[in-house]
């Protein structure tokens, strides 16, 4: 197994991998491959933290990082970071690859000076890479009341004490615009999606908002 930086020659294969990994997991179909496609052109994208994982001569994993912001209660914005999508090909899920890729990427991020990360995800996976509830670090989710537990909003100080050193005791996370491209331009997303082989969209238990 090897981990290396993504190159332009990988782009289409990585987008297909992202589509395969996310398809029908959180909603019928998925949009994460389009997010990735658009993000590489964004100034928030961090090319030095854009990794692919190879095994058996094929790409089986990918993760990207982004610049983000934290907003203090007085409205001051502080630069911060987030990451995702992270994808492992369905044939290779739950074999430890995702955790290996994430731990590698986090270490590289820390060495680059990325001191703090927050993101949305399943704590059952991310706890193995050092993440906990963001609220425990005083960081709040942008569209939820502060007193409400947000179990999917996670964070970690990669550099211990980074928040305090940057004058942040409490703040609200501002997710980068790049994550909302599919909602903002559904026609462009549909045109992009149509360039992939057809796949069936299914409503499945476990998806966001699924009700029996
Ligand atoms: C999430 C993902 C990156 C995890 O990678 P992976 O290689 O499958 O996970 P790992 O084998 O490294 O998991 C390590 C541990 O994390 C936990 N874990 C991983 N995926 C989990 C899940 N979906 N639900 C609950 N726990 C999970 C388990 O404790 C697992 O150990 P175990 O398999 O011995 O029980 C991968 O499954 C994936 O691409 N999923 C679809 C896309 C996605 O959801 N991306 C993340 C969006 S936030």
Q: Which backbone phi and psi does 97 adopt, to 5 degrees?
A: -65, -40
| Minimum CA distance residue for ligand 1 atom 37 | 93
2-193 homologous superfamily: Gcn5-related N-acetyltransferase (GNAT) (3.40.630.30)
The CA 123 to ligand 1 mean position distance, Å, reads: 10
Query: Which residues does ligand 1 sit against, CB inside 6 Å?
Result: 21-22, 25, 84, 86-88, 93-99, 121-122, 124-125, 128
Q: Would you say the pTM of this structure is higher than 0.95? A: yes
Q: What is the Å distance from ligand 1's center to 164 Cα?
A: 31
Q: pLDDT digit string (tens) for 28-75?
A: 999 999 999 999 999 999 999 999 999 999 999 999 999 999 999 999
Residues recorded for the chain: 212
Question: Taking 80 as the threshold, does the pLDDT of residue 211 lie above it?
Answer: no
Please report the sign of the dihedral spanned by the C-alpha atoms of residue 203, residue 209, residue 210, residue 212. Answer: negative
From 20, 32, 125, the mutation candidate for ligand 1 (largest count of ligand atoms within 8 A of CB) is 125
Candidate from 93, 106, 129 with most ligand 1 atoms within 8 A of CB, to mutate:
93
CA 169 to centroid of ligand 1, rounded, Å: 31
Q: Please give the distance of CA 92 from its chain centroid, rounded to a whole number.
A: 19
**Mean pLDDT, rounded, for 177-200:** 97
Which amino acid residue places its CA nearest to atom 34 of ligand 1? 94
Q: pLDDT at position 147, please?
A: 85
Burial grade of 64 (CB within 10 A; 0-12, 13-18, 19 or more): buried
Residue 153 is predicted with a pLDDT of: 97
pLDDT in tens, 137-161: 999 998 888 888 899 999 999 999 9
Q: What percentage of the chain has pLDDT greater than the value 90?
A: 93
Confidence of residue 212 (pLDDT cuts 50, 70, 90): low
Q: Mean pLDDT across the chain, nearest whole number? A: 96
Task: Give dist(CA 52, CA 7) in Å, integer.
Answer: 9
Identify the pLDDT of residue 27. Answer: 95
């Amino acid at each position: 197994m090897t981990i290396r930086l993504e190159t332009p020659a990988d782009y289409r294969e990585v987008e297909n991998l992202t589509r395969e990994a996310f398809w029908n997991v959180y909603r019928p179909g998925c949009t994460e491959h389009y997010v990735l496609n658009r993000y590489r052109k964004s100034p928030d994208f961090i090319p030095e933290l854009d990794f692919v994982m190879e095994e058996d001569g094929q790409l089986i994993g990918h993760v990207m990082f982004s610049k983000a912001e934290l907003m203090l209660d007085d409205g001051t914005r502080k630069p911060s970071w987030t990451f995702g999508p992270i994808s492992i090909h369905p044939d290779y899920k739950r074999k430890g690859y995702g955790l290996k890729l994430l731990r590698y990427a986090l270490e590289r991020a820390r060495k680059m000076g990325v001191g703090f990360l927050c993101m949305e995800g399943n704590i059952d996976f991310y706890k193995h890479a050092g993440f906990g509830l963001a609220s425990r670090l005083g960081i709040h989710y942008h569209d939820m009341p502060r007193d409400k537990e947000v179990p999917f909003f996670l964070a970690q100080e990669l550099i211990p004490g980074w928040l305090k050193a940057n004058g942040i005791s409490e703040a609200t996370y501002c997710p980068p615009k790049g994550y909302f491209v599919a909602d903002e331009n559904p026609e462009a997303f549909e045109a992009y999606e149509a360039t992939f082989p057809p796949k069936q969209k299914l409503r499945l238990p476990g998806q966001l908002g699924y009700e029996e």
